[in-house]
Structure 1
């Protein structure tokens, strides 16, 4: 048989279209089945709370209390190893220092570092940033990707080949690998971005040498800016954002993906890649891009941003699926756990507003503030929904990145750079305490069928 005959007998695009139309029909599951078998769709209970799938000492996300079977909203709390995120951020502000490395130490090792511990942690990450010889050219530059998150996932999988310890790791091996990856994430991200710009955007390739003396936030700004310059206020704002994104409990989608992969016994590089692939999704880490796109759309269609009536009219169109992307969603509003407030959004908004004061971008922050203020009442009037909703961290994080001169393509990769800390902490907790493969059940509802011989079909 010639190659041409093979092609003629292959499944072609027109066939795939028809076959997929059949697949849609064969895949249909009526909503009644979910009710009949009490399926926890999205691993959420009927009251919106999460199905408890594990126990953790690492992080607590608290946004409501249950009273006599009803959900009572409370101000949101984000607790790292027993410490309120507000205390961690405010103490760092009071002492005019950075906080991400302190948070990383706390999440990974279980306790707050003293001065010597924190200095060692910061220095350790600085010296671990260097990529293996030839890795940047062979694994990143030679095969750039138009999507930075995909390239991050491939790069971490590729680092498996450069590690002396990959399978049957001890907890000490795991910690060393985790520190290496936390340190290298900014370098992998910047390399992937520069390669993408060079190939797909026809831009100049600008690669800076590493500065081991810089902390994580400083390294990121230093690498992505052509002139390498940044102010301490800018670096501290990015540092705060990294600390706020470092973890969010074991139940968030990407961390759960990491724990599920870990429970199978797979290697750390594969487990962290699972988490990155999960975070890429627009329902998870990609949500900050959606907020920025929505903000740009509002700016283009509302003439007077300070006029709440004009803003409310356009938000109403969005809710009615008549504007923006037609989804009916006001991105950046609402959260699965937080009700009255998301502590990350509160902290970020406060710090961002202070840095934006007097600058042109202050108008955009005030526009988002108006969206945050108007949305709850508009949702009630348009949808008849009395659910308490608040702004989540995505409402402000994208505009903060933009204020810092960070390209849109790096918004989600920066999220991953911070969250690598939480993934590592949860992976090690799963290794130390899980001891069982995570395997939920699915109810099969397909009816039995009598086999039809090939010649009779």
Structure 2
């Protein structure tokens, strides 16, 4: 294992990206305490030496354009590389698929392992991953008042509204909020945040599954948590799915959706709200509200709706010429082709590639997948012909809904909940580090248009 991982170490870092022997302790919190002490010294030294160094300039267009491209946040857990895609602690998706522990007989990475990597920078052993699985299973019980609330929501309340409300209501369990009220020392903030994070992540599958069963399965009860199962396996059982391939898909799905650096709406919102020392439940619920927005979390839903329309109009055996014509009609009408193009990536999203490899192995003859696969060859050429978009390649949304639909999950309004469950891993790991590094309340300076005009000499 050491030889495999060493080839991926490219730059020195306070957090060593190595794997320890299988005989080492499986106590994640103790390991994290060691890492935090190292990183605190590392960051303090860096800031003392380079704190006044200017790292960029801001244009007026960036101020008006949603602060795009402005380097103004610290997120330790992941980075979006234009060519390599999302990198988790400097590991690409192909690397985590290879290195992270799998379930017995499985081929996809366990999300528990990715969470360990995001927190510590180390690739965990199978034993360490099992310890996280067991801890989350032990902490999965939802507070009774939250169960009552979920079971009394009206059927027309959107699943994301139910999800965020339930997460908020769980903050009755917050150890951080209680410790803060009791006057705990600042250097202990991260420990109580860690405890909340582990409890919160553990409770997300039963919350999400209860919502699913209430809305789409006539309120049938969710299955009991099995202490011997991994997190994804318990989740799919609670949802009512017993196909092992679907469980494998969920392990992959959650892993690749877990983090996307810190500037996207959901991650940034968690960071922003938490900077006011709101507890992890309130902070994550705020991020989920951002994820619910159509410009952020509805991509897979929109792709599947567009593919369904295409399929209904042309059928699954449409010719290449017919597909090109349909794509051009979409583009000429002023619409985008859902699932294609990304602000940062300059090649096919590696998350899409991972899902495509899964589909080629498990559902190569599915008509909807074949349709999406054919579009993979056709759409980029059509978009490039317009001459307006630098990156016409597919994103993860281009296939995620197709795979969920294949295994029977056709309730497209629920898909964003799955992304929300996934995104907890990255945002909550990052939140622990926010507390550990003592990052202050976020307070950027805003200006009026007149003030900007005076600043640049326009008046």
TM bucket (normalised to shorter chain) is 0.7 to 0.9
Select 2:65's aligned residue among 34, 41, 64. 41
Aligned to 2:152: 142
- Distance across 2 between alignment mates of 1:165 and 1:262: 12
Change in 2 beyond 3 A, CA 1:213/1:410? farther
Alignment of 1:436-455 (within 5 A): 436-445=440-449
- Distance across 2 between alignment mates of 1:397 and 1:55: 29
- Distance across 1 between alignment mates of 2:91 and 2:134: 24
Aligned to 2:119: 108
User: 1:166 touches 1:268 (CA, 8 Å); kept in 2?
Assistant: no
- Distance across 2 between alignment mates of 1:204 and 1:131: 16
- Distance across 2 between alignment mates of 1:293 and 1:373: 20
- Distance across 2 between alignment mates of 1:297 and 1:166: 48
Select 1:160's aligned residue among 165, 171, 186. 171
- Distance across 1 between alignment mates of 2:286 and 2:342: 23
User: 2:306 touches 2:338 (CA, 8 Å); kept in 1?
Assistant: yes
Change in 2 beyond 3 A, CA 1:101/1:414? same
Deviation at residue 163 of structure 1 after TM alignment: 3.6
User: 2:174 touches 2:281 (CA, 8 Å); kept in 1?
Assistant: no
User: 1:144 touches 1:196 (CA, 8 Å); kept in 2?
Assistant: no
Change in 2 beyond 3 A, CA 1:435/1:57? closer
Residues 189-244 of structure 1 deviation map (CA, whole Å, 9 limit, x = unaligned): 1112223347xxxx35343333232222212221122xx5222x331121011110
- Distance across 2 between alignment mates of 1:157 and 1:420: 14
- Distance across 1 between alignment mates of 2:60 and 2:96: 46
Q: Structure 2 unaligned runs (5+)?
A: 1-57, 452-459
The alignment status of 1:191 with 2:210, answered yes or no, reads yes
- Distance across 2 between alignment mates of 1:161 and 1:94: 33
Residues 127-151 of structure 1 deviation map (CA, whole Å, 9 limit, x = unaligned): 1111124531x22112345211111
Alignment of 1:20-99 (within 5 A): 39-44=63-68, 50-63=69-82, 74=83, 76-91=84-99, 92=101, 96-97=105-106, 98-99=109-110
Select 1:207's aligned residue among 212, 222, 226. 222
Deviation at residue 287 of structure 1 after TM alignment: 1.0
User: 1:108 touches 1:424 (CA, 8 Å); kept in 2?
Assistant: no
TM normalised by structure 1 equals: 0.78
- Distance across 1 between alignment mates of 2:215 and 2:122: 39
Select 1:393's aligned residue among 376, 396, 401. 396
Aligned to 2:3: none
Change in 2 beyond 3 A, CA 1:338/1:94? farther
Deviation at residue 408 of structure 1 after TM alignment: 2.0
- Distance across 2 between alignment mates of 1:193 and 1:62: 35
Aligned to 2:454: none
The alignment status of 1:119 with 2:123, answered yes or no, reads no
TM normalised by structure 2 equals: 0.77
Deviation at residue 37 of structure 1 after TM alignment: 6.9
Aligned to 2:356: 349
Aligned to 1:412: 416
- Distance across 2 between alignment mates of 1:90 and 1:110: 16
User: Any idea what SS the aligned residue of 2:305 has?
Assistant: helix
User: 1:288 touches 1:397 (CA, 8 Å); kept in 2?
Assistant: yes
Deviation at residue 111 of structure 1 after TM alignment: 2.0
User: Any idea what SS the aligned residue of 1:43 has?
Assistant: coil
Select 1:264's aligned residue among 265, 270, 276. 276
- Distance across 2 between alignment mates of 1:38 and 1:77: 23
Residues 282-313 of structure 1 deviation map (CA, whole Å, 9 limit, x = unaligned): 21111110011011111111146341100110
Q: Structure 1 unaligned runs (5+)?
A: 1-33, 45-49, 64-73, 322-326, 448-457
Deviation at residue 386 of structure 1 after TM alignment: 5.3
Aligned to 1:176: 195
Aligned to 2:140: 129
Change in 2 beyond 3 A, CA 1:387/1:134? closer
Aligned to 1:229: 242
User: Any idea what SS the aligned residue of 2:80 has?
Assistant: strand
Change in 2 beyond 3 A, CA 1:60/1:368? same
Aligned to 2:26: none
388-397 or 103-112, larger mean C-alpha shift? 103-112
- Distance across 1 between alignment mates of 2:357 and 2:308: 22
Change in 2 beyond 3 A, CA 1:320/1:37? closer
- Distance across 2 between alignment mates of 1:210 and 1:445: 55
Aligned to 2:17: none
User: 1:222 touches 1:230 (CA, 8 Å); kept in 2?
Assistant: no
Give the RMSD, CA atoms, in angstroms.
Answer: 2.4
Change in 2 beyond 3 A, CA 1:230/1:242? same
